[in-house]
Amino acid sequence: MELCEKIKLLRQKHGLTLEEVGNAVGVGKSTVRKWENGMIANMRRDKIARLAQALHTTPAYLMGWDEAGFSSDTPSLSHAAVKALPLLGEIACGQPVFASESHESYIMADPGIPADFCLQAHGDSMAGARIQDGDIVFIRKQSIVENGEIAAVIIDDEATLKRVSYFPEKNMLILKAENPKYPDFVYTGEELERIHILGKAVAFQSRIE
């Protein structure tokens, strides 16, 4: 369901007028009408939080946050409260790109997501895992992940998002895309010294079109 449909249905469900919702969020009723008509799809994070509260729902529901499906214990995105996680630049879904450590921006997240920060995906190499260009990927800091898990990986000060497989008996690390048009990245021996796992991807948030 699109964001505009969710807003309208929830407003009507709770018997709220356009003006009442606008007053609660701090905007005019014409802005709420534009949200419901799909004329405004991008909203400030503080407005999303206030709108969710006014409509008796969660920012997770409105924004279409989705569990990444990376592990069976990823928590449900159903809590009413939110927390702010720093957004650390972009991470490549394809070739590695420079990972900025500036975190002037923050993403409002469900407190049940066990993440320390988030990155914006760039490219389509993880499309098979439902991670698209522009999606926000939530990362939990850890230097080791299990084989088959998706991780943010630093390669020579550049970052990429890939599914990780490590074979200690061969001293080999394979970073695999979730798109057949991208080859695997294979590192062995001393090449492994160039690799640093930044953290495990635990959830993602899709863009609102």
Active site residues: 125, 162
The C-alpha atoms of residue 42 and residue 182 are separated, in whole angstroms, by 31
Read off φ and ψ for residue 167, nearest 5 degrees.
-120, 90
Strand, helix or coil for residue 94: coil
Query: Torsion-angle region of residue 192: left (phi > 0), alpha (psi -120 to 50) or beta?
Result: alpha
Cα radius of gyration rounded to whole Å, the chain: 19
74 burial (CB, 10 Å; 0-12 / 13-18 / 19+) is: middle
Two structure tokens written together for 152: 């943010």
DSSP H or E stretch at residue 65: strand 65-67
